[in-house]
Chain A
Amino acid sequence: MLQIREITITTGEKELIKDLNLEIKEGEIHALMGPNGVGKSTICRALLKDPSYEITKGSIFYKKQDITTLTTSERANLGMMMISQNPIAIEGVTNAEMLRLALAEKNKEHIDIFSFQKEAKEICEKLALPESFLHRDINSGASGGERKKIELLHIWMLKPSLLLLDEVDSGLDVDALKIVASSIKEYHDLTNCSILVVTHNPKLLAILKPDYIHILKNKKIIKTGDASLASRIEKEGFISLDETNEVG
Chain B
Amino acid sequence: MNKIVIDREKIVTLKENTYELEIEAEDVILAIEGNVIIEEIKKKEENLKLTIILKENANLLYNRFMYYSKANTFIKLEQDNNTKAILNYSFLTNGECKINVDPLLKGNYNNTEINIKAVTQNKGNVIAEVTAEVGENTKENHFLEDIHILLTNEEESVIIPNLLVSSSEVEVNHAATISGINIDDLFYLKTKGLTEKKATELIKSGFLIGNLDIKDQEKRKIKEIIGGE
Show the binding face of A for B, using Cβ within 8 Å.
48, 50-52, 71-73, 76-77, 81-82, 87-88, 90-93, 97-99, 101-102, 105-106, 135, 137-138, 154, 158
Of all chain B residues, which has the CB nearest A93? B206
- Given A92-B208, A92-B209, A98-B202, check contact A105 B187 (CB 8 Å): no
- Given A93-B203, A93-B206, check contact A158 B187 (CB 8 Å): no
- Given A81-B192, A91-B207, A158-B193, check contact A101 B202 (CB 8 Å): yes
Q: Which of A52, A73, A92 contacts B194 (CB 8 A)?
A: A73
By the criterion CB–CB under 8 Å, are A106 and B193 in contact?
Answer: yes
Q: Which of B188, B189, B210 contacts A137 (CB 8 A)?
A: B210
From 172 to 193 in chain B, residues with beta carbon under 8 angstroms from any chain A beta carbon are 183-185, 187-193
B175 to chain A, nearest CB (A): 15
Of all chain B residues, which has the CB nearest A164? B191
A181 to B187, CA, bound (A): 25
- Residues of B close to A73: CB separation below 8 A: 190, 193-196, 199
- Given A51-B183, A73-B190, check contact A91 B195 (CB 8 Å): no
- Residues of A close to B196: CB separation below 8 A: 71, 73
- Residues of B close to A92: CB separation below 8 A: 205-210
B145 to chain A, nearest CB (A): 19
**Beyond A71-B195, A90-B189, A105-B194, 10 extra complex contacts between A and B, CB < 8 Å:** A71-B190, A72-B190, A72-B191, A90-B188, A92-B206, A92-B208, A101-B198, A105-B195, A105-B198, A137-B206
| Interface CB pairs A-B, < 8 A, 11 | A48-B191, A72-B187, A76-B192, A90-B202, A92-B205, A92-B210, A98-B194, A101-B202, A102-B192, A105-B193, A158-B192
Main SS of chain B's interface residues? helix
Of all chain A residues, which has the CB nearest B195? A73
- Residues of A close to B195: CB separation below 8 A: 71, 73, 105
By the criterion CB–CB under 8 Å, are A77 and B193 in contact?
Answer: yes
- Residues of A close to B216: CB separation below 8 A: 135
Q: Which of A88, A97, A106 contacts B185 (CB 8 A)?
A: A88
For the complex of A and B, the 8 pairs showing the least CB-CB separation, nearest first, are A92-B206, A92-B210, A72-B190, A76-B193, A93-B206, A91-B210, A102-B193, A102-B192
A105 to B209, CA, bound (A): 23
- Residues of A close to B199: CB separation below 8 A: 73
- Residues of A close to B203: CB separation below 8 A: 90, 93
By the criterion CB–CB under 8 Å, are A91 and B206 in contact?
Answer: yes
B28 to chain A, nearest CB (A): 29
B194 to chain A, nearest CB (A): 6
By the criterion CB–CB under 8 Å, are A82 and B202 in contact?
Answer: no
A211 to B43, CA, bound (A): 57
Of all chain A residues, which has the CB nearest B223? A97
